[in-house]
Amino acid sequence: MGATMRRFVMAAAAAVALAGVGTGTGLAAEREPSGPVQPNILTAAVYSLGDPTLAPPGANDWGCRPSSRHPNPVLLSNGTTANAYENWANLSQRLASAGYCVFAGNFGGAPGAFLQTVGPIADTTKALAAFGDRILAATGASKLDVVGHSQGGMNVRYWIKYLGGADKISRVVGLSPSNHGTDLFGLLSTLERVPGVPAALGTVCQACNEQAVGSGFLTALNAGGETVPGIQYTVIQTRYDDVVTPYSSAFLAPAANVKNILLQKVCGLDFTDHLGITYDPVAAGLVLNALDPAHATPPLCVPVAPVIS
């Protein structure tokens, strides 16, 4: 919890200094060459301080053409406050090395800023959806698969429900997604009841308010069913999530096209937390299985530490 709260406070403080951070605008992280592979989110965050617009390794090759085995490009959707390089500077290369066309962008933050995915979720998702349309046009594919972390695993459902994504998305893989919000161990729920706090928080991170348990945004998103037929949903969650709490709030309602996976039932040696899950080798194996279930193999169970993976 300590590392998470420090990041939250630092993010809020830095965001105050950014012009237009709440507008939900942003640019694709597509500068070439992309940055190097990183071992964990901490090293990736430090590296991206120098250039937050770097593409994750293996991502945003606009000349990539999907193979017959992997016909759908993979779009990586960022978590709250994270830029694309910071969030994906390991899994992106693993997916590219497996033969996927991989893409990632920065949305929901000031263009070129370190902090992304903090603006209104609807605006962030509109930009994400437009980026998805660009990917489909460039690759000639008919559908996308989306892998998202935290907010990025939830906001794609807004795309599906309100922005025509049901006809463009084949698979959704969420890594610790905020599908039912978070109470941050009761802290966020308490703060949301304090007069003036939600408004103040909204000036630096509107997406934080919208991911609070019981928010109007999530209530509307989950009303009438959490999934749609024709799309395969996989949720990969850790028991030790210290941001999406309780951890079970990440899981989607049971359905024939939903697979909820608790990491520790796959590997009891895995102690990854919310920040570390996109760099977790066990979770990465599960992502590959979700994207290509016909060739799924049990991921190797190895010890995984919080944050540093």
Query: Per residue in 235-264, pLDDT tens?
Result: 999 999 999 999 999 999 999 999 999 999
- Tell whether the model's pLDDT for residue 291 goes beyond 70: yes
Q: Are 88 and 79 in contact (CB under 8 A)?
A: no
Burial of 290 (0-12, 13-18, 19+ CB in 10 A): buried
More confident residue, 156 or 2: 156
In a domain, 119, yes or no: yes
- Tell whether the model's pLDDT for residue 120 goes beyond 50: yes
CA 49 distance to own-chain centroid: 19
In a domain, 54, yes or no: yes
| Nearest residue to 156 (alpha-carbon basis) of 122, 108, 182 | 122
In a domain, 309, yes or no: no
Percentage with pLDDT > 70 across the chain: 83
146: CATH: 3.40.50.1820
Predicted local confidence at residue 27, as pLDDT: 55
**pTM exceeding the 0.85 threshold for the entire prediction:** yes
- Tell whether the model's pLDDT for residue 196 goes beyond 90: no
Predicted local confidence at residue 184, as pLDDT: 83
Rounded Cα distance, 71 and 206, in Å: 36
- Tell whether the model's pLDDT for residue 176 goes beyond 80: yes
CA 266 distance to own-chain centroid: 21
CA 170 distance to own-chain centroid: 17
Rounded Cα distance, 21 and 110, in Å: 5
Residue showing tokens 């703060």? 191
In a domain, 306, yes or no: no
In b/e form, how buried is each residue of 205-240, taking b as 16+ CB within 10 angstroms? Answer: bbbbbbbbbebebbeebbeeebbeeebbbbbbbbbb
- Tell whether the model's pLDDT for residue 132 goes beyond 60: yes
Rounded Cα distance, 164 and 124, in Å: 15
- Tell whether the model's pLDDT for residue 204 goes beyond 90: no
- Tell whether the model's pLDDT for residue 81 goes beyond 60: yes
For residue 294, give the 3-state DSSP assignment. helix
Q: Are 266 and 205 in contact (CB under 8 A)?
A: no
Predicted local confidence at residue 34, as pLDDT: 82
Query: 25-34, 202-211, 281-290 — which is least confidently predicted?
Result: 25-34
- Tell whether the model's pLDDT for residue 1 goes beyond 70: no
In a domain, 123, yes or no: yes
- Tell me the average pLDDT of the chain: 89
Structural domain span for residue 213: 2-295
Determine the average pLDDT of the residues in 3-23: 38
In a domain, 302, yes or no: no
| Nearest residue to 4 (alpha-carbon basis) of 56, 82, 91, 78 | 82
In a domain, 101, yes or no: yes
- Beta pairing partners, 171: 145, 232
Q: Are 149 and 175 in contact (CB under 8 A)?
A: yes
What total of structural domains would you count in the chain? 1
Instruction: Read off φ and ψ for residue 260, nearest 5 degrees.
Output: -100, 125
- Tell whether the model's pLDDT for residue 90 goes beyond 60: yes
Helices (H), the chain: 2-16, 41-49, 84-88, 91-97, 121-139, 151-162, 187-192, 197-204, 206-210, 216-222, 263-266, 281-291
Determine the average pLDDT of the residues in 133-143: 98
Extract long-range pairs of 156-159: CB within 8 Å, 24+ residues apart. Answer: 156/77, 156/125, 156/128, 157/221, 157/226, 157/227, 158/121, 158/122, 158/125, 158/221, 159/125, 159/128, 159/129, 159/132
Determine the average pLDDT of the residues in 100-120: 96
In a domain, 90, yes or no: yes
